[in-house]
Amino acid sequence: MKRFIIITCGFILILFVFFYAVFSQADGYSDAYYLRFTTPKQSSLIIGTSRAAQGIKPSVLNRVLERNDLFNYAFTLSHSPYGPTYFNSIKKKLLPETEDGVFVLAVDPWSVSNASTDPNDSTQFAEAKLILGNTYFVNSKPNINYLLKSYNEPYYKLLFNSDHTTLLHEDGWLEIDITMDESIVNERVQRKIKEYQDQAASFKKSDLRMEYLNKTIEFLKLHGEVYLVRLPVDPVIMEIENQFMPEFNTIIEEISAKDHTLYYNMSALNADFIYTDGNHLYKNSAEGVSKLIADWIVKNK
């Protein structure tokens, strides 16, 4: 019996060491989220959905603002609309003693809306069952909690990942390197336009998500300066958004005034940039947009 226990424990130990070694190979190519949960707690954050994840580069903001602590903690519309799940994850990721942080919050109508029958019922918010809801530890390397619960590929891909079109940088910026052939881009744009048309038919404004946007602003203001930004998108997608929630800019301007924060509505620049699909800024345009945001912060400090 004793021999059996020793052999079993030895086998378990070998198995643990094996999986730990495999998990330790996870990097920025493994998926679009993992590294954000392996880095330390942060003192300055970029918050939002995939528009911000791909469209705001911490390296540019750090260079212009003469800092070294901006970190992109934005995910996707499915994972990180404003609400209790994202709010709690932000609190976990923020270094508690921060007093002079910079927080850039990307806002758009979808991030304060929901597709459920009751847009104000948080039990119907799908993100609670996704990565932010399932990942308790947000600064653990390797993050076994994430890899066991939320990594959706076979583990061997951590060792032999051949897809290098998506790279998540150590500062949280998501770089997408795909073909920008005009005809292919146009196809992606048309698909995205259709997606947003369908989304506009199923989504409803959520007062609860709006409340959590306010709570997020109020919480982060305790730790530094908060800046609200509406990122540029393809003009057709912007038109869909404006039809869906025509009062959105007025609402954000009211929040900005009430909370004494600044709001940079970049929608007047929609036609000035290049998009991979009409919704996400191409990496070169992300550089330019990030520089504009950083210059705007410097100007208004």
Q: What is the pLDDT of residues 161-193, one digit of tens each?
A: 666 789 999 999 999 999 999 999 999 999 999
* DSSP helix/strand/coil, 169: coil
Task: Give the rounded percent of residues in the chain with a pLDDT score beyond 70.
Answer: 89
Mean pLDDT taken over the chain: 91
Cβ neighbours of residue 131 under 8 Å, at least 6 residues apart?
33, 75, 79, 146, 150
Q: Phi/psi of residue 51, each to 5°?
A: -60, -45
Q: Is-contact 42 144, C-beta < 8 A? A: no
Span 125-131, average pLDDT? 96
Residue 34 pLDDT more than 60? Answer: yes
Token reading at 276? 């991979």
pLDDT at position 23 over 60: no
102-118 per-position pLDDT tens digit: 999 999 999 999 998 89
- Which residue intervals of 94-179 are DSSP H helices? 131-134, 144-149
Q: Among candidates 11, 29, 34, which has minimal Cα distance to 176?
A: 29
Do 251 and 217 contact (CB within 8 A), yes or no?
A: no
As a whole number, mean pLDDT of residues 81-89 equals 98
Classify residue 24 by its DSSP letter. T
Confidence grade of residue 127 (pLDDT, cut at 50, 70, 90): very high
The structural domain count of the chain equals 1
Short-list 48, 30, 46, 50, CA closest to 38:
30
The pTM is what?
0.92
pLDDT given for residue 152 in this prediction: 79
Which amino acid, residue 41?
Answer: K
Q: Can you give the residue range of the structural domain that contains 70?
A: 2-300
- One-letter amino acid at 86 equals Y
Provide the CATH number for the domain around residue 42.
Answer: 3.40.50.1110
* pLDDT for the residue 176: 96
Task: Select from 226, 223, 174, 160 the least CA-distant residue to 56.
Answer: 174
Higher-confidence residue of 23 and 181: namely 181
Cα dihedral value 64, 68, 70, 72, nearest 10: 110
pLDDT of 153: 78
